[in-house]
Homo-oligomer: A and B are copies of this chain.
Amino acid sequence: MGFEVIKTDSRTKARLGLLTTAHGVVETPVFMDVGTQGTVKALEPRDLEENGAQVVLGNTYHLMLRPGPDVIAAAGGLHQFMRWNGPILTDSGGFQVFSLAKMRKITEEGCRFNSHLDGHEFFLGPKESMSMQRVLGSDIAMVFDECLPYPCDRERAEKSVEQTLRWAKASKDQPHAEGQLVFGIVQGGVYDDLRRHCAEELVKIGFDGYAIGGVSVGEPEEFMYKAVDASEPFLPKDSPRYVMGLGVMHQMAECVARGVDMFDCVIPTRVARHGTAITRKGNVAIKAAKWIFDQGPVEEGCECYCCRNFTRSYVRHLLNAGEILGLRLLTIHNVFALNRFMKDMRSAIAGGSFAEWKEQIRKDTCHE
């Protein structure tokens, strides 16, 4: 169990790695598909396998509220419940408590809040989060933290980082599932010295991996890279680094160039449900009138089930008619496309051409 860097790029900080978990080995850089409520939306486990998914992310907050820990415990954990036998990473629930729920009170022990579903009152802190993640039986558990919003003033950021560090220590000290890796989360907002401080203190506590949190929360793109640049040098070279909530192709490539190994995002499944295809040449609105008679696949050359079998004309029809199959086919395509993208990235690193590849990605996918 653990992480091994098998190659480092000569011109950037990009690395190829192998992350060994209780449910298999993950090739990094990796994009993790989000399965919020115990399913990657519209997909079955066999679809995930077929489309190159390596890790599924489960949301502790959502699963704690519904179906609740007792139901998942009865199944023997999240792997058994959803029948996904590959690696699972679970977040701590902190982000959702702060963004979705109605907060009642924050103490040293955690947060009292009302469920966004039915107003039912819950408590979530490091103890409860780690306990829930133990029930879920994830391969990688995340510490309970406070994800800072953007913008955030210095004073609030300072206080929050200290709270995050105390919660990180408390999370580490809880019992974990057998073989469960535990990752710390670097916070600190846009303040480089806070990022450094947080990273250094987390490393003192000692984790199996480190996330860079509070990224992709509405800040300008350059602040995203600044947060990574301010944190990464103070994280162990032999630990995996994970930027949470990021799934845009050129942004992931930029972060990999800065030493990041892992990503997750709802983008591929969410935009599919709105009729958007993710392609190697940027996003494509499949509902657009121009595809009405188009007999080509959603993405030329793509080898996913959707592109091997169906036309833009047909997928467009399904989306416009409100057919579930339309969003399912686009979800299949998008998941395949992002996983294929990461595979191409790993090949570029392996072949020594990552820097050029990254520039090409920017040219191809950023149409601003």
| Contacts from A to B (Cβ < 8 Å) | 37-39, 41-46, 66-67, 70-71, 74-75, 81-83, 292-293, 295, 305, 309-311, 313-314, 317-318, 320-321, 323-325, 327-329
Q: Are B42 and A328 in contact (CB under 8 A)?
A: yes
A-B contact pairs, 22 of them (CB 8 A): A37-B317, A38-B314, A38-B318, A39-B325, A42-B324, A42-B325, A44-B305, A44-B325, A66-B321, A67-B317, A71-B292, A71-B293, A74-B293, A74-B295, A75-B295, A81-B311, A81-B313, A83-B309, A324-B324, A324-B327, A324-B328, A328-B328
- Complex Cα spacing A309 to B317, Å: 32
Evaluate contact between A71 and B39: CB separation under 8 angstroms.
Answer: no
Asked if B42 and A320 make an inter-chain contact with CB atoms under 8 angstroms apart, the answer reads no
Q: Which of B66, B293, B305, B323 contacts A317 (CB 8 A)?
A: B66
Closest Cβ of chain B to A214, distance in Å, is: 28
Q: Which residue of B lies closest to A73 (CB)?
A: B293
In the assembled complex, the Cα of A226 lies from the Cα of B293 at a distance in Å of 47
How distant is the Cα of A74 from the Cα of B311 in the complex, in angstroms?
A: 11
Q: CA A71 – CA B311 in complex, angstroms?
A: 11
Contact status A314-B66, CB under 8 Å: no
Contact B41 A74 (CB under 8 A): no
Complex Cα spacing A66 to B323, Å: 12
Cβ–Cβ < 8 Å partners of A323 in chain B: 37-39, 41
**In the bound complex, what is the Cα–Cα distance between A320 and B317 (angstroms)?**
28
The residue in chain B whose Cβ has the minimal distance to the Cβ of A331 is B324
A317 touches B83 (CB 8 A): no
How many angstroms between the C-alpha atoms of A83 and B74 in the bound complex?
Answer: 41
User: A46 to chain B: which residues have CB within 8 Å?
Assistant: 305
Q: How far is the CA of A329 from the CA of B293 in the complex (A)?
A: 31
| Residues of the B chain whose Cβ atoms lie less than 8 Å from the Cβ of A325 | 39, 41-44
User: What is the minimal beta-carbon distance from A289 to any residue of chain B, in angstroms?
Assistant: 12
Q: How far is the CA of A151 from the CA of B43 in the complex (A)?
A: 45
Q: How far is the CB of A13 from chain B (nearest CB, A)?
A: 38
Q: Name A71's contact: one of B75, B317, B328 (CB within 8 Å).
A: B317
Complex CA distance for A329 and B45, rounded to whole angstroms: 12
Which residues from B are CB-within-8-Å of A305? 44, 46
| Contact indicator A82/B324 (Cβ below 8 Å) | no
| Contacts A39-B318, A67-B321 supplied; 17 other A-B pairs, CB < 8 Å | A37-B317, A37-B321, A38-B317, A38-B321, A39-B325, A41-B323, A41-B325, A44-B305, A44-B328, A66-B317, A67-B317, A71-B293, A71-B313, A74-B295, A74-B313, A83-B309, A324-B328
**In the bound complex, what is the Cα–Cα distance between A83 and B306 (angstroms)?**
11
Residues of B within 8 A of A45 (CB): 309
- Decide: A75 and B313 in contact? CB cutoff 8 A: yes
Q: What is the minimal beta-carbon distance from A303 to any residue of chain B, in angstroms?
A: 16
Considering the complex, give the chain B residue whose CB is closest to the CB of A311: B75
Q: How far is the CB of A65 from chain B (nearest CB, A)?
A: 10
A41, A45, A46, A71 pick with most chain B CB within 10 angstroms: A71
Q: How far is the CB of A212 from chain B (nearest CB, A)?
A: 30
Q: Which residue, A75, A293, A324, has most C-beta atoms of chain B within 10 A?
A: A324
